[in-house]
Amino acid sequence: MVPTKSFNKLVVVSFIVLGLALVGLFIYSISTRIRFPQDALSVKEFIKNPSYDTNVKIYGQISRLEEMLQPSFELTYNDKSLVVWYALMAEDDGSPRPSVIVDHIKNGDWVVVTGELKSEGIFREQGDFWAQEIENLSKEGMTKESETNIEIAAEVCETDLDCVHFGETGECNCGCYLKEEIPTSTGGECFCQAPILCECIQNKCEGIFE
């Protein structure tokens, strides 16, 4: 029989592992629905190698909007978070920074925030992130311009295993596809050269012909 203390520890560890797995699955699911801009870093990536007082773009999920004492929210990716200020930002000489409109975002939205990670100052703490622009990547928050700039999951792969070959040479729909996006028919006959294998290249399924 397993001792009670050891058993309890095993149960706790199991729940922690399960929780981390669910968080990872959720992040993967989101990343396959939204392709984040290539010139932006996730909050987790940025925290690993932060740059202070420099204009950057970071992305993550909003939480605690309108729940904090100051005009700010938390931006999180996986298990890493930053506090993002959108108003009441002032330089050491007292000159104010322009506020950023937040009526197009809400808790749970995925956004790209352009701004600066601030070093310590008279009116700020080191590690506060001052926003200059906030772009909503969640589908309901997108403008028409945003929709043309954001690629939805149908075009996104993570590894070569996400890509499969479909059809034969001479069939209209021959080529490489995500597993979830395989055509329902060959599309009839037309000129189409089937690749010899498929690879995930820059998050797109591409055919290799030689």
Segment 83-126, tens digit of pLDDT: 999 999 999 999 999 999 999 999 999 999 999 999 999 999 99
User: What's the Cα-to-Cα distance from 168 to each of 152, 163, 189, rounded to whole Å?
Assistant: 27, 16, 10
Q: Which two structure tokens, joined as six digits, stand for 138?
A: 């969640």
Domain shared by 116 and 163, yes or no = no
Closest C-alpha to 107, from 73, 139, 68, 83: 73
Is residue 109 within 8 A of residue 142, CB to CB? The reply is no
Surface-to-core class of residue 178, CB atoms within 10 Å of its CB (0-12 exposed, 13-18 middle, 19+ buried): buried
User: What's the Cα-to-Cα distance from 32 to each of 14, 35, 42, 45, 109, rounded to whole Å?
Assistant: 27, 7, 15, 18, 15
Domain shared by 57 and 129, yes or no = yes
Coil, strand or helix at 3: coil
Task: Report how many domains make up the chain.
Answer: 3
pLDDT tens-digit readout, 167-201: 888 888 888 888 877 887 777 777 778 888 899 98
Q: Which two structure tokens, joined as six digits, stand for 22?
A: 């669910």
Name the residue range of residue 19's domain: 1-33
Domain shared by 88 and 23, yes or no = no
Domain shared by 119 and 84, yes or no = yes
Domain shared by 89 and 116, yes or no = yes
Domain shared by 100 and 18, yes or no = no
Predicted TM-score of the model (pTM): 0.55
